[in-house]
Homo-oligomer: A and B are copies of this chain.
Amino acid sequence: MNKEEALNFLKEQLKTMNYLGSTLSIVSWDMEVMAPSQAIDYRSEVMGYLSTQYHQLATDSRIGEALEALSSEISLTQHETKLVENFKDSYEKNKKIPESLQRELTIATSKGSQYWKKAKEKQNYEIFKPYLKQVIDLAIKQAECVGYEGHIYNAFLDDFEKGMTVEELDRIFPPLRDGLVALLDKIMKAKQDEPHHPEGEFDKDRQEQLSLMLLDAMGYDYKESGRVDETEHPFTTSLGPKDVRITTHYYEESIESAIFSSVHEGGHAIYDQNMPHQLAEYGIDEAPSMGIHESQSRFYENIIGRSLSFWRAFYPKLQKIFPEYQEISLEDFYRIVNKVTPSLVRTEADEVTYSLHVIIRYEIEKLMVSGAVSVDELPALWNQKYEEYLGITPPNDSEGLMQDVHWSEALIGYFPSYALGNLYGAQFYHQMKKDIPNVTEQIEAGDLTEIFNWLKTNVHEQGNLYTPAELVERVTGEPLNPQYFLDYLNEKYSRIYHF
């Protein structure tokens, strides 16, 4: 292959992979949102078939030939270089993992998920333990095959947060942890009686009306190039460049979950809708990492969606839809949606404690993959850290180390992205306030257009042209710094809790 042939081959392969990727997204979305219960068995077979086809495309040996042909090519454009890098990364990683190991891991995670579910239901870690051990052992083997520099955990991080390392996280997480623990301590000491949501039945239709109003304000086009549906666990998925769908959840007894699920997923959706789709042929129309994607959802959910300014604009509209809230003042509503309480479950945690849940997992995972802690020791270690950082101990392992699905599926190294999202978001916001000096006034007026445009220009339209670290530095002029997030939280919560 000459240069042109090699580039054309990669582009064509990517195009085909994207067709299959889109197909898989459509088929999964339908499975999650629309399919009748009995469809599951056959649908799983169909998805298995499509996944295998995708894997075959991704490991096609002609990719290796094309990469070889381009390996000493120095006259590539920035976009072409990115195309080559993206393929190189996944292709070479794939090639290093023996098929037998891949197969073993597939079986182990399939069993792992199954027994995790069972063990969690029965609150019995012993049921899950042997399968977890197997998953961890195989994941370590895989990391050894792929190779890494420094800590073995770097091999895991690389799958979700390109370029991120233990060395870097060990610079960022300890001050974050200490800052959060200190803040939490202040909050707990200052805590007095707190206001509550009104009781009532908040029907789905009105919750949907509210969600759509907020999503409209954010600039998510759910009418012509998206959809909003309902599922038990909310998510965002791209079925095509102009088909980005979210789901949310309406609980009749409370409107809070629908609001913040919608706004969170809306943040993800805006990102996907504003990717540089014109660069799709180079594979640049994707986020550089999980953490950067999460930064957008958590930015809208928390920094915007839980701010007083935001509710100055939207609370009167909420009260119109829900007259039940006439009796609750704006300030009380603001305090309700920003209530801080140490809790056992990550997915239900507030803005202050959330990252502590993540850091606990990070600290445990590091020990786990370096062999310093055995599966037997995990529950005690988990509980000890919850006591230390959050002051609470799980009554059982189902609300403890078995609460998340991740480990059963060998998703080790994924958790840090959640906390990094908070940090990226706060650092972006710090810069945004410099670039848009009256941003608070704009939010108070219910006008999120400039915020949308700022994110679009600085983050969304950059796709994966830069690594997370490069992007943060380009946008904010300095490396990732957890202090911005801590400052934001301290300022916000010292006002709420008066300390």
Contacts and interface: CB of A to CB of B under 8 A. Distances in A.
A223 B224 CA distance: 29
Interface in A20-39: 20, 22-23, 26-27, 29-30, 34-39
A22 B39 CA distance: 11
A225 interface: yes
A227 B36 contact: yes
Nearest to A21: B46
Given A23-B23, A34-B227, 17 more contacts: A19-B49, A19-B50, A20-B49, A22-B42, A22-B43, A22-B46, A23-B50, A27-B27, A30-B239, A34-B34, A35-B239, A36-B243, A38-B225, A41-B242, A42-B242, A43-B240, A43-B243
B239 A38 contact: no
A46 B26 CA distance: 11
A204 B266 CA distance: 29
Contacts of A234: none
Contact of A242 (B27, B36, B226): B36
Contacts of A224: 36-38
A241 interface: yes
A90 interface: no
A339 B348 CA distance: 61
How many chain copies does the complex carry?
Answer: 2
24 contacts: A19-B45, A19-B49, A19-B50, A22-B46, A23-B27, A23-B46, A23-B50, A26-B27, A26-B30, A29-B30, A30-B30, A34-B227, A36-B224, A36-B242, A36-B243, A37-B224, A37-B225, A38-B225, A38-B243, A39-B225, A39-B240, A39-B242, A43-B240, A43-B243
A44 to B, nearest CB: 10
| Size bracket, chain A contacts | 20 to 34
Instruction: Give 8 nearest A-B pairs by CB, closest first.
Output: A39-B243, A38-B242, A42-B240, A38-B225, A19-B49, A38-B224, A19-B46, A37-B224
Q: Which of A49, A50, A224 has most chain B Cβ within 10 Å?
A: A49
A16 interface: yes
A148 B279 CA distance: 51
Contacts of A36: 222-227, 242-243
Nearest to A29: B30
Interface string A254-282: 00000000000000000000000000000
Interface of A: 16, 19-20, 22-23, 26-27, 29-30, 34-39, 41-43, 45-46, 49-50, 222-227, 239-243
Contacts of A42: 22, 240-243
Nearest to A243: B39
A391 to B, nearest CB: 46
Nearest to A45: B19
| Most chain B C-beta atoms within 10 Å of own C-beta, residue among A20, A22, A26, A30 | A26
Contacts of A34: 34, 227
A334 to B, nearest CB: 34
A205 to B, nearest CB: 12
A241 B222 CA distance: 32
Contacts of A46: 19, 22-23, 26, 240
Contacts of A241: 42
A37 B221 CA distance: 11
Nearest to A239: B39
Contacts of A239: 30, 35, 39, 43
Contacts of A35: 239, 243
Nearest to A50: B23
Contacts of A45: 19
Contacts of A49: 16, 19-20
Contacts of A240: 39, 42-43, 46
A34 B229 CA distance: 10
Nearest to A49: B19
Contacts of A225: 36-39
A252 to B, nearest CB: 19
Contacts of A226: 36
Nearest to A226: B36
A39 B244 CA distance: 9
Contacts of A227: 34, 36
A241 to B, nearest CB: 6
A27 B50 CA distance: 13
